[in-house]
């Protein structure tokens, strides 16, 4: 039974500000809300107004140890629960989350600045779908019968790893948390999640909702800074698996720490995803697809954002003009307003990084910056972290804007004349997360799809992560897969061989 000293409402609420205050200052460990051992907290800020809306517990190694110890105790009993029963409990969690979708959408919009209608409510619905999907896979934790010898029964079984440490980012924190927690739980592991500093509230609320259904200690949540809270989680001797989403630089640090312990790690890192547009495409559909592909409604804060768009020369000028007009029609404003298409950047530091890239692009000889949409005029938003989307033309492949992940509403559109040449340009990147091709010639599309160096390639669409479709990158974009049965089996269990000599 949950201990809720802050009187968090059990029923869904439509007041995200009150909910944020109620969630302030606590971790969720062992089925109970507890403050940080040190008593320290840090501010949670609404990026649309600059106002503090809550405080989060500032965890350190002591908090992490408490969470992991509780998880390790709970995991022993959880692993003995039949797999389909574990799945049924996770499926019940999905139903509870779905009842809170509107509430969670409001809360994530408040803390991240993502527009409610176009992004935050959508994310909350997908989270429920992920838990529903994995909740139905308990019966798939199967072993095999191995034909070794006539008088030897040889079988394999799938067993959980133990305690999983999960570290999540701020851009889609609820979804990326779900992609880690759901398969880990169904497979019989206990989980300790370290939330993103910028977005700790909605994931904490989901953890609370699920703790009403799950045994205490099976799912725990701590908040804090990377070095003080994330690093101790990775290094803890009882953590037997780490799954991380974030930057390449931090991912390498996580991988090195995991290697010291010889434990498995899943890494979903950065991207610089190419979008290749041929002249024979369905033009209107492709322009609309470019808006989705670039994740403009999320201010480009996505690993799969199409920040490199290559357009065949006969339609290049028309494509740029139509795309700019389409982004111009998008409304920037209060993320909590249903009329808003585009919200804010998540933090002041991220805003300054994005602006630096934009200024560098504007100063590049021969480049043109097509500045889109319009800044909000509401005086209440004057301190908000808004930035207008920018489409650059006239940059070549050596530009930092073409080569580095910006994680903002900035894309570069370049013309091409030859399919082989554009394939080489698309593959000339350290990243390999996602890519898309837009053409009515499926022979060309499928040929290039096979040769693009990316973990996810889509033709004539660019959907976000979907349950049941394997997701993960190559090269510097990461290690391992998420969102599929494969990810549950290969990344959250180990295979044991059992042999019985019957001779």
> What string of DSSP letters covers 199-267?
B-HHHHHHHHHHHTTSPTTSEEEE---IIIIIHHHHH-TTEEEEEEES-HHHHHHHHHHHHHHT--EEE
Among 266, 234, 200, which Cα is nearest to 61's? 234
Interacting residues of 429 by C-beta distance below 8 A, sequence separation 6+: 272, 274, 308, 403, 453, 475
Rounded CA-CA distance 419/446 in Å is 12
Rounded CA-CA distance 194/245 in Å is 11
Rounded CA-CA distance 284/496 in Å is 53
> What dihedral do alpha carbons 117, 118, 120, 125 form, nearest 10°?
90
Interacting residues of 165 by C-beta distance below 8 A, sequence separation 6+: 68, 191, 192, 194, 233, 234, 236, 239, 241, 242, 243
Rounded CA-CA distance 346/366 in Å is 31
Question: Which residues make beta-bridge pairs with 332?
Answer: 342
CB 311 within 8 A of CB 319: yes
Residue 138 DSSP symbol: G
Among 164, 166, 145, 148, which Cα is nearest to 156's? 145
Relative to beta strand 239-245, strand 265-268 is parallel
Among 195, 296, 208, which Cα is nearest to 12's? 208
The three-state DSSP-derived secondary structure of 390-440 is EEEECCCCCCHHHHCCCCCCEEEEEEECCHHHHHHHHHCCCEECEEEEECC
Rounded CA-CA distance 218/243 in Å is 16
Instruction: Spell 120-155 as b/e; 16+ CB within 10 A means b.
Output: bbbbbebbbbbbbbbbbbbeebeeeeeeeeeeeeee
Residue 149 DSSP symbol: B
CB 52 within 8 A of CB 45: yes
Show which residues are catalytic: 180, 268, 303, 482
């Amino acid at each position: 039974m949950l201990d809720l000293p802050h009187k968090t409402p059990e029923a869904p609420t439509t007041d995200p500000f009150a909910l944020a205050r109620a969630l302030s200052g606590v971790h969720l460990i062992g089925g109970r809300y507890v403050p940080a051992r040190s008593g320290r907290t840090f501010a949670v800020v609404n990026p649309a107004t600059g106002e503090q809306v809550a405080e989060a517990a500032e965890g350190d190694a002591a908090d992490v140890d408490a969470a992991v110890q509780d998880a390790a105790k709970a995991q022993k009993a959880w692993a003995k629960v039949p797999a389909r029963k574990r799945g049924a409990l996770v499926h019940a969690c999905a139903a509870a989350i779905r009842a809170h979708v509107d509430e969670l959408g409001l809360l994530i919009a408040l803390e991240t600045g993502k527009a409610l209608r176009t992004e935050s409510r959508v994310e909350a619905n997908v989270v429920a779908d992920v838990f529903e999907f994995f909740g139905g896979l308990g019966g798939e934790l199967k072993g095999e019968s191995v034909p070794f010898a006539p008088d030897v029964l040889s079988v394999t079984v799938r067993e959980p790893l133990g305690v999983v440490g999960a570290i999540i980012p701020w851009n889609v924190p609820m979804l990326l948390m779900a992609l880690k927690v759901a398969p880990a739980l169904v497979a019989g592991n206990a989980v300790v999640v370290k939330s993103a500093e910028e977005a700790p509230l909605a994931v904490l609320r989901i953890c609370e909702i699920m703790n009403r259904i799950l045994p205490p200690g099976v799912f725990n949540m701590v908040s804090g800074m990377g070095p003080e809270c994330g690093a101790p989680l990775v290094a803890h001797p009882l953590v037997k698996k780490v799954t991380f989403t974030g930057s390449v630089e931090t991912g390498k640090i996580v991988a090195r720490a995991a290697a010291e312990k010889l434990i498995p790690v899943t890494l979903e890192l950065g991207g610089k995803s190419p979008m290749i547009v041929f002249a024979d495409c369905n033009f209107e559909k492709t322009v609309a697809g470019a808006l989705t592909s670039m994740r403009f409604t999320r201010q480009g804060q996505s690993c799969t954002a199409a920040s490199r768009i290559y357009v065949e020369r006969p339609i290049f000028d028309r494509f740029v003009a139509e795309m700019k007009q389409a982004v111009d029609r998008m409304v920037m404003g209060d993320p909590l307003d249903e009329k808003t298409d585009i919200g804010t950047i998540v933090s002041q530091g991220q805003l300054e990084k994005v602006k630096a890239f934009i200024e560098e692009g504007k100063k590049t000889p021969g480049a043109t910056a097509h500045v889109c949409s319009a800044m909000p005029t509401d005086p209440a938003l004057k301190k908000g972290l808004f930035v207008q989307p920018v489409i650059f033309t006239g940059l070549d492949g050596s530009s930092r804007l073409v080569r580095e992940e910006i994680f903002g509403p900035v894309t570069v559109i370049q013309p091409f004349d030859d399919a082989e040449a554009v394939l080489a340009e698309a593959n000339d990147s350290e990243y390999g997360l996602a890519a898309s091709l837009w053409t009515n010639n499926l022979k060309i599309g499928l040929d290039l799809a096979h040769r693009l160096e990316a973990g996810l390639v889509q033709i004539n669409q660019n959907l976000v992560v979907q349950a049941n479709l394997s997701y993960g990158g190559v090269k510097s974009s990461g290690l391992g897969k998420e969102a599929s049965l494969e990810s549950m089996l290969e990344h959250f269990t180990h295979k044991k061989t059992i042999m019985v000599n019957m001779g």
